[in-house]
Chains A and B, each alone.
Chain A
Amino acid sequence: MTDIGIELDGISKSFVSGAGTVRALDDFTLSVAEGEFVAILGPSGCGKSTVLRIVAGLDSADRGSVTVAGSSPQTLIAEGALGVAFQDNALLPWLSVRANVALPYKLTGRPVDQARVDELVALVGLADFAGARPSQLSGGMRQRVSIARSLALAPRVLLLDEPFGALDAVTRHRLNVELARILAAEASTTLLVTHSVEEAVFLADRVVVMTGRPGRVKLTVDVPFGRDRTKAVLGQPEFLRLVAQLTAALDDDDTETGTAA
């Protein structure tokens, strides 16, 4: 874990719209090592999605530098080595679940690895719905399709924006375990945005707490468990202590929290 996976240095970002200027990020700095899994916590509207969009090259920072996998997001994109599960899942309504998961192959002009597609569909528990269209799925099911799709090309950098937001506790937990297993095998550099402190601690090597808008890093906590962790960690005192510490950090946020969804 010596190479740098993602390096954000002094990022600032404002949005101008009819209603005025919103300062989303201010001097946001974060470094993620290659293969490292970092979870981001923060109040709603603090700029978490914006961080991911900047890493993905979908938005540009007003100030500061962005390095991803040694160069720019664009290089990563050119290699087809970026996977993103968007907050609003962005499924194509006219494609089946299987076709949506296979889409990244088509978009990058690679032959579809049907076995892997089926494996991912099964992994997110949608084997019975492989032929269904998004309109026939529930919100959580759609999110799961989106996660499977983000993993399709075994990306070097994986960005997950509240991927489990609409899931029940049981499914969420099962997926957490599966995700942990898969990521341990593939060693993607991963940024996960989540509102669940337990999820962050369970999955990540490191957890970052952001301030309210404009977003800045408030607290960084290393998680001492190895990547091959199992359900067993959930009961450990260290786990509970980390959860308590992070929850407290989120709670005593004195800055105004955003309202944007």
Chain B
Amino acid sequence: MTVSATAAPRTRPAAENGARPLRLPRAVLPVAGVLALVLIWQVIGVSGVLGRAVPPPTAVLDAFVDKGDILLRAALATGGRALVGGLIGYLLGAMVASVTAWFPRSTTPLVRVTVLINAIPIVALGPVLMSVPARPFIPEVFAALSVLFATVLTVGDGLRSASKSPADVFRVFGASRTARFFRLELPSALPMAADAARLAVPAAILGAILGEWFGADRGLGVLMVSAMRNIQYGFLWAAAVVAVLVSVVFYLVGTVLERAASRRFGRSGEAAVDVAPLAKSASALIGVLIPVLLIVGWQAWIWIGDVPQIVAPGPLGVAESLAADAPELLAAAGLTTLSAFGGLLAGAVVGLALAILVTLLPWLNAMLSPLALIIPTVPIVVFIPILGSLLGYGVATVFASCVLMAFFPIYVLACSGLRARPAGSDDLFTIYGTGRLRRLTRLALPAAVPALLIAVRLAAANAFLIAISAEWLMGQGGLGRVFSERRVILDTNGSWAAVVVAIVLSVLAYVGAAALERKVVTRWRS
């Protein structure tokens, strides 16, 4: 039933080709949008209102002319690492998601493990990886880790989104589990899998760039730290622009794939969280078992590998630090939580607002379309220092970083959620002459709720990571700052204690968001 209804608005009647003259202004708007952006940037750069750290585009252009070959080599290096790492993370994620679809009961434990892995701050992993054989591949590892989590969740939801009636058809015909998976669930998941790929692009590039900060001989991340310390602002921005361009290229490929998948396989909008829950006791057991296993594994690594404490401390030492510094860690955790949640909330509001605006105003949509393409691909962490010079070095910058990071997944998923309307509902609204605003409040927004909840779940899991990274770079307090202070005096027990608190908070945030989603989303299933 979905097929005929969603196909209808897409098909152009044969005789209706008088739309030609509209084409020109449509192409003009995005170009105007980009030009306006560059112009504003030039004015800001030349006037210096945002300080020295923002050079005009002409200065960036100079850097391109002078050092184009270096930028190209760096882009290829970083792009390659992001691609390799991102693909590995994506495939791994898709595999885990498939396992959860195949064996629904494995979902809770598997997702928990990925949530836990995702909650480990990369900045804490970097120094450890520098001392293990994986060292040359830190950027790839970071890229893979950055991609894994969102992929598991999004692809998993896609696999479970297969409409019920075709699923029943498969059952009736006695199709094997394999056939059902490959012929029904996998195709139904393709649109969301493509979404996941698009989400993965900036994540992989950001991961690769961060990884390069922990020792690589070339790459955009290396260029950025070097240019920053050598006050080569034009060059720094040129490197950031290249990072965005690399993202845009990958992202465009992802978008093309997504469009194709959506057109071919239809988007069912609903992401059913229809997982057979484990018995309470089993679920609690696993909840305890996994962390315990991880801690045992960690201790085993320390013992068997005879790892010096300076490389990584043992769980016992960390526990001691946790106990000794409990009051300080709690206070820091409070501040971090404030930034993370506040940022999540504000980012959600901004992301949703922009998605709505773009849905409501076609001309704005056209004008912002290049921006909408660029914004999600900007490696935000690169701009934390610039945020600092704008907003001062403290809570405001940490908060703004959290807002920016939460904004991205919420904007992307809100945009696709706002389009995922129930079959035929658009026609219904048309025959009652419903205006744009009512269509938004009564149709698009409610229809977007499931997608928004996924976005919030994703953003919640990452909110603490971002807060901690920003605090680490320029916070005056919070867990990130505690981590940094302990780290610099090589107090690994102390710095990991802060990390452990952050991990616990991250996992709690995710579990909370997931519970909220489960509660609400049952209402949305048709």
The answer to whether any beta carbons of A and B sit under 8 Å apart in the complex is yes
- Residue A103 CB within 8 A of the other chain: yes
Most buried by B among A53, A80, A84, A92: A92
B1 at the interface (CB under 8 A from A): yes
Q: Which of B4, B5, B432 contacts A108 (CB 8 A)?
A: B432
Q: Is B429 an interface residue (CB 8 A)?
A: yes
Contact A60 B13 (CB under 8 A): yes
Nearest to A75 among chain B residues (CB) is: B433
CB distance from B181 to the nearest CB of A (A): 24
Contact B7 A58 (CB under 8 A): no
A250 to B446, CA, bound (A): 43
**In the complex, B430 has a CB within 8 A of chain A:** yes
Residues in A whose Cβ lies below 8 Å from that of B447? 94
Residues of A70-84 contacting chain B, CB below 8 A: 77-78, 80, 82-84
Pick the contact of A93 from B427, B431, B526 — CB < 8 Å?
Answer: B526
How many Å lie between the Cα of A245 and that of B400 in the bound state? Answer: 75
Q: How many residues of A contact B (CB 8 A)?
A: 40
Asked, given contacts A78-B433, A94-B523, A106-B442, whether A84 binds B428 with beta carbons under 8 Å apart, the answer is yes
B488 at the interface (CB under 8 A from A): no
Asked if B434 contacts A107 (CB within 8 A), the reply is: yes
Neighbouring A residues of B5 by C-beta, 8 Å: 88, 90
In the assembled complex, A104 has its CB within 8 A of some CB on chain B: yes
Docked-complex contact A58 and B430, CB < 8 angstroms = yes
A255 within 8 A of B: no
Residues of B within 8 A of A92 (CB): 422, 425, 442-443, 446
**A13 at the binding interface (Cβ < 8 Å):** yes
Q: In the complex the two chains form, is A58's CB within 8 Å of B11's CB? A: no
| Contact between chains at A107 and B14 (CB < 8 Å) | no
> Would you give the 0/1 interface string for A50-78, flagging 1 where the beta carbon is closer than 8 Å to chain B?
00010011111011000000000000011
CB distance from A24 to the nearest CB of B (A): 10
How far is it, in angstroms, between the C-alpha of A91 and the C-alpha of B11 when the chains are bound? 23
Total A-B residue pairs with C-beta atoms closer than 8 Å? 103
Known: A88-B1, A106-B442. Is A14-B526 also a contact (CB below 8 A)? no
Q: A107-B438, A135-B525 are in contact. Are A84 and B431 (CB under 8 A)?
A: yes
Residues of B within 8 A of A2 (CB): none
Query: How far does the Cβ of B490 sit from chain A's closest Cβ, in whole Å?
Result: 55
Per the 8 Å Cβ criterion, residues 105-146 of A in contact with B are: 106-109, 133-135
Whether the pair A86, B422 counts as a contact (CB closer than 8 A) is no
- Which residue on A lies nearest to B9, using beta carbons? A58
Residue B16 at the A interface, CB < 8 A?
yes
Closest B residue, CB atoms, query A108: B432
Most buried by A among B4, B431, B433: B431
In the complex, A261 has a CB within 8 A of chain B = yes
Closest to B523 in A: A94
Shortest distance between the CB of B233 and any CB in chain A (Å): 50
CB < 8 Å neighbour of B428 from A57, A80, A86: A86
Q: Does B288 contact A (CB under 8 A)?
A: no
Given known A90-B422, A90-B423, contact A82–B526 (CB-CB < 8 A): no
In the assembled complex, B12 has its CB within 8 A of some CB on chain A: yes
Give the residue of A13, A58, A88 whose beta carbon is less than 8 angstroms from that of B423.
A88
- For B432, the closest partner residue in chain A by CB is A107
Q: What 1/0 mask marks residues of chain B from 505 to 526 whose CB sits below 8 Å from any chain A CB?
A: 0000000000000000001111
Partner of A17 from the list B11, B428, B430 (CB cut-off 8 Å) is B11
Please state if A15 and B14 are interface contacts (CB–CB under 8 Å): yes
Asked if B284 is at the interface of the complex by the 8 Å CB criterion, the answer is no
| Separation of A21 and B13 alpha carbons in the complex (Å) | 10
Query: Which chain B residue lies CB-closest to A73?
Result: B431
Compute how far the CA of A83 lies from the CA of B431 in the bound complex, rounded to whole angstroms.
7
Q: Mark B447-458, 1 if CB is under 8 A from A, else 0.
A: 101000000000
> Which residue on chain A has the smallest CB distance to residue B446?
A94
> Is the pair A107, B442 in contact by a Cβ cutoff of 8 Å?
yes
Question: Which residues on the B side are within 8 Å of A78 (C-beta)?
Answer: 433
A260 within 8 A of B: yes
Instruction: State how many angstroms separate the Cβ of B131 from the closest Cβ of chain A.
Output: 52
Jot down 20 A-B pairs with beta carbons below 8 A, ordered by A.
A16-B13, A16-B14, A59-B8, A59-B13, A60-B13, A60-B16, A62-B16, A77-B431, A80-B432, A84-B428, A88-B4, A92-B425, A93-B270, A94-B523, A103-B428, A106-B442, A107-B429, A107-B432, A133-B523, A134-B526
A interface list, Cβ under 8 A from B:
13-17, 21, 53, 56-60, 62-63, 77-78, 80, 82-84, 86, 88-94, 103-104, 106-109, 133-135, 153, 260-261
Q: Given A86-B428, A91-B422, 5 more contacts at CB 8 Å? A: A58-B431, A77-B430, A93-B422, A108-B432, A109-B438
Q: State the B residues within 8 Å of A (CB).
A: 1, 4-5, 7-8, 11-16, 270, 422-425, 427-434, 438, 442-443, 446-447, 449, 523-526
